[in-house]
């Protein structure tokens, strides 16, 4: 049996995510936008979600990366 996940889930495999994709935290709804980066973690604009450091967490609620799902524009 394989786990399919829910729509928007990347199942922890960030390589499946488009480099320009925006992702939203399932806990607090914070949106990570690669075009903006993340001031809290000093992530420069243009940094894809897959390229975030392993220690990166949601700047709003401290949720881990697996709490994020891809959102449509």
State the residue for tokens 């450091």.
53
Residue 63 within any structural domain of the chain: yes
Q: Looking at residue 39, which CATH number applies to its domain? A: 2.20.28.10
Residue 4 within any structural domain of the chain: no
Complete DSSP assignment for the chain = ------TTB-TT-GGGS-TT-EEEETTT-PEE-TTT-BTTTTBPTT--GGGS-TT---TTT---GGGEEEE--
pLDDT per residue rounded down to tens, the chain (73 residues):
343 444 556 656 677 789 999 999 999 999 999 999 999 999 999 999 999 999 999 999 999 999 999 998 6
Q: Which domain holds residue 23?
A: 17-73
Residue 7 within any structural domain of the chain: no
| Domains: count for the chain | 1
Residue 40 within any structural domain of the chain: yes
- Edge-to-edge, what's the strand order for the sheet holding 22-25? 31-32, 22-25, 68-71
């Amino acid at each position: 049996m394989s786990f399919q996940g829910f729509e928007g889930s990347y199942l922890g495999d960030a390589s499946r995510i488009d480099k320009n994709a925006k992702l939203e935290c399932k806990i607090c709804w914070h949106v990570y936008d690669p075009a903006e980066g993340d001031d809290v973690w000093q992530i420069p604009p243009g940094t894809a979600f897959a390229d975030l450091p392993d220690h990166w967490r949601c700047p709003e609620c401290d949720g881990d990366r697996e709490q994020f799902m891809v959102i449509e524009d």
